[in-house]
Structure 1
Amino acid sequence: MNRRERGDGALGQDWRDRLSVIGLVALGVGVVIRLIANGLDSWPYAVVGGALMSVWVVFLVRRRRRQDARDTGAEPEDVPAMERRILKGGRPPEDPEQRREMAALVDSRQRRLRRNRWWAFPLLALIFFGTSALWFVSGSVTAGSLALALAVAAMGWLVWFNLRFDRRLTQMRHRLRT
């Protein structure tokens, strides 16, 4: 019997965590981007492409939640609330079972974050800065400069976010131990 069935302190599900909301947001973003890129006349293709992308995003989110739930022993619906609590720097739960689940999630996230860091950043830098270099080589200084500025901003943000998330995970691990 899980916490939801017992009714003792389930973390609850926020409206932002619902797969239908995630799917609708992905659909909206996909349609808007395709309409901007291809023009308003391509709206049927934009809707079909956005719908396919939306299904793919929901599939990936659902699979990740199930995998995290399996790793931590929590319910898949509780994983987003635990992640939000970690990111916001909130207090750890009082319930020992929830503390154990959150500790397992923190360990799992930090392992993945550090394991993938060594290859993800160089690959992203190659893609971002390589795009800029290709624009410069092709003779378009304006596009190359814009791509370079975006590459610097994107890589800076990714490094900052990665370090911030790692720091938050470490802080939560220390709070869970005390």
Structure 2
Amino acid sequence: MTHSHENRHGWRWWLDRWWVAVPLTFLLMTGIRLLTDRDGGLFDAAMGALIYTALLTPTAIWRRRKDARALGADPDRVPDLDRRIQKEDVPEDPEERREMAVLVRRREEQLRPTGRWGLPVTGVGAVLLIVLFLLLGEVVAAAVVVVVAALLVLVALWNRRLFARYARLTERLGATSGTRHDDMRHRA
């Protein structure tokens, strides 16, 4: 079913296709490996990136399919609904509203488990890695860890905004009674 708000020729639609995301992930990971591993060559970076890509791609596809099963929708609908959640664009169609309400609840549940301990544990791990790399004389690797740790702090702050967005959407969707959501918990 094609929805009027979908743009099948926009760049985001193309990024939602696995056959576009896989080469982009491979190239991105190869670039990261080349920047962080000064001793290895292009072949080593490509092989490491291939391993990362082989792990990340099936995980992303599995998550999308699991979300689609919970929604009772096609897996191609999940990225579109995610974008609509980001824009807080509440659909008029009751079925789309139900799908969006279920997806909002799922996204909240996915963020909650690490809410209290995720950032402190990551911070301790980052400090230990920075100290280890500096003791080993790997200044570039320590700098990369500092940058990644700073990005993770930004992600934690972003998650606070996400929770506020989810609360607003839940209120606007009138998604307090989750009969479909309760059925989803028993199946998953």
Pairwise TM-score range, normalised by the shorter structure: 0.7 to 0.9
Higher deviation after alignment, 39-48 or 125-134: 39-48
Q: Whole-Å Cα distance in 1 between the matches of residues 120 and 45 of structure 2? A: 32
Residue 163 of structure 1 aligns with an amino acid whose one-letter code is R
Q: Whole-Å Cα distance in 1 between the matches of residues 120 and 36 of structure 2? A: 28
Unaligned 5+ runs, structure 2 = 176-188
Larger relative helix fraction: 1
2:109 to 86, 93, 111: 111
What residue number does 2:165 align with? 168
What's the offset of the Cα at 1:30? 1.6
What residue number does 2:25 align with? 26
Unaligned 5+ runs, structure 1 = none
What residue number does 1:84 align with? 83
* Post-superposition CA distance 1:3-30 (Å, at most 9, x none): x2xx566856611211122111111012
Question: TM-score, with normalisation over the residues of structure 2?
Answer: 0.74
Residue 85 of structure 2 aligns with an amino acid whose one-letter code is I
1:62 to 2:66 alignment: no
Question: TM-score, with normalisation over the residues of structure 1?
Answer: 0.78
Q: Tell me how large the CA RMSD over aligned residues is.
A: 3.1
What's the offset of the Cα at 1:42? 2.1
CA 1:41–1:123: 2 relative to 1, 3 Å? closer
CA 1:134–1:8: 2 relative to 1, 3 Å? closer
What's the offset of the Cα at 1:63? 0.4
Q: Whole-Å Cα distance in 1 between the matches of residues 42 and 99 of structure 2? A: 45
Q: Whole-Å Cα distance in 1 between the matches of residues 66 and 30 of structure 2? A: 29
Please say if residues 92 and 172 of structure 1, whose CA atoms lie closer than 8 Å, have aligned partners that are also in contact.
yes
Q: Whole-Å Cα distance in 2 between the matches of residues 9 and 45 of structure 1? A: 45
Q: Whole-Å Cα distance in 1 between the matches of residues 38 and 152 of structure 2? A: 30
What residue number does 2:151 align with? 154
Give identity over the alignment, percent: 28
* Post-superposition CA distance 1:16-47 (Å, at most 9, x none): 21112211111101211222334597222322
* Post-superposition CA distance 1:33-62 (Å, at most 9, x none): 222334597222322332232222210110
Give the secondary-structure state (helix, strand or coil) at the position aligned to 2:106: helix
What's the offset of the Cα at 1:155? 4.2
Please say if residues 71 and 102 of structure 2, whose CA atoms lie closer than 8 Å, have aligned partners that are also in contact.
yes
Give the secondary-structure state (helix, strand or coil) at the position aligned to 2:75: coil
Please say if residues 15 and 21 of structure 1, whose CA atoms lie closer than 8 Å, have aligned partners that are also in contact.
yes
Please say if residues 126 and 146 of structure 2, whose CA atoms lie closer than 8 Å, have aligned partners that are also in contact.
no
Please say if residues 103 and 173 of structure 1, whose CA atoms lie closer than 8 Å, have aligned partners that are also in contact.
yes
Q: Whole-Å Cα distance in 1 between the matches of residues 128 and 153 of structure 2? A: 16
Please say if residues 36 and 144 of structure 2, whose CA atoms lie closer than 8 Å, have aligned partners that are also in contact.
no
Give the secondary-structure state (helix, strand or coil) at the position aligned to 2:116: helix
What residue number does 1:101 align with? 99
Q: Whole-Å Cα distance in 2 between the matches of residues 27 and 148 of structure 1? A: 21
